[in-house]
Amino acid sequence: AQRVTQPEKLLSVFKGAPVELKCNYSYSGSPELFWYVQYSRQRLQLLLRHISRESIKGFTADLNKGETSFHLKKPFAQEEDSAMYYCGLKPQGAQKLVFGQGTRLTINP
Amino acid sequence: ETGVTQSPTHLIKTRGQQVTLRCSSQSGHNTVSWYQQALGQGPQFIFQYYREEENGRGNFPPRFSGLQFPNYSSELNVNALELDDSALYLCASSYTLDRDGYTFGSGTRLTVV
């Protein structure tokens, strides 16, 4: 079975500090990993996916198959980064996303 | 409107009743998925439709059923509602079956009393 774990339900950092949102997964095959973000009163939207290896809004995430992790990082947090973040896994050949429980990130001024 | 739209936004039903939720896919998208998001949880996959056929199903009982129409809009039907069905129901559309992220709607908040 596939499983995504986000160990922190809440994370609070100061503006300008580095931020790391943890995501660990359990899956025996080759997954596709995603990060989705939900800003206040907005819909869930794709932030980035591991296959594109891009940086969006200063965020990056590297897939570590050895540690089965896909942590989301940003070197300098901004107040507008405050949001709910969900890590998602798409099993190979499957038509679904398996989400973690989410982490609520709060950036303090 | 080019995004994913869902209706209604809020709904209150009584246990045992039936409910139909609706979703209009983003223009150009031919695949639609439905997710259930209970309070404090991440979204859980219910099922997906591609070209009007069910194309994958999560761990939900048969009383959860769906339809996709030729214009790629979709319905989620839930029969014999239970209190635990209270949740936010999200619709997500995409163009291809693989490799793309999904565009989510704002959801329908269903409360079963």
* Smallest CA–CA distance from A102 into chain B, residue: B42
Tell me what pLDDT residue B30 has.
85
Nearest-10 Cα torsion for B58, A71, B40, B29 = -50
- Whole-angstrom Cα distance, residue A86 to residue A103? 7
Q: Which pLDDT band, with edges at 50, 70 and 90, does B100 fall under?
A: low
Q: What pLDDT, in 10s, does the model give residues B1-45?
A: 468 999 999 999 999 999 999 999 988 888 999 999 999 999 999
- Asked if B44 and A46 come within 8 Å (Cβ–Cβ), the reply is no
Does the pLDDT value for residue A95 go beyond 60? yes
**Distant-in-sequence contacts of B54-58, Cβ < 8 A, 24+ apart:** B55/A95, B55/B31, B55/B97, B56/A94, B56/A95, B56/A96, B58/A96
Cβ–Cβ of B43/A44 closer than 8 Å? Answer: yes
Q: Which residue has the tokens 């509602």?
A: B81
Instruction: Please give the Cα distance from A68 to A22 (Å, whole number).
Output: 11
The pair of structure tokens assigned to B75 is: 């319905």
For residue B45, the chain A residues in CB contact (below 8 A) are 96-98
List CB contacts (< 8 A) between B101 and chain A: 34, 36, 46, 49
pLDDT digits (tens, 9 = 90+) for B54-82: 989 999 999 999 999 988 899 999 999 99
User: Tens digits of per-residue pLDDT, A5-42?
Assistant: 999 999 999 999 999 999 999 998 888 899 999 999 89
Using an 8 Å CB-CB cutoff, list chain B residues near A94.
56
Question: Does residue A87 surpass a pLDDT of 80?
Answer: yes
CA distance B8 to B23: 9
Shortest Cα–Cα distance, B19 to chain A (Å): 22
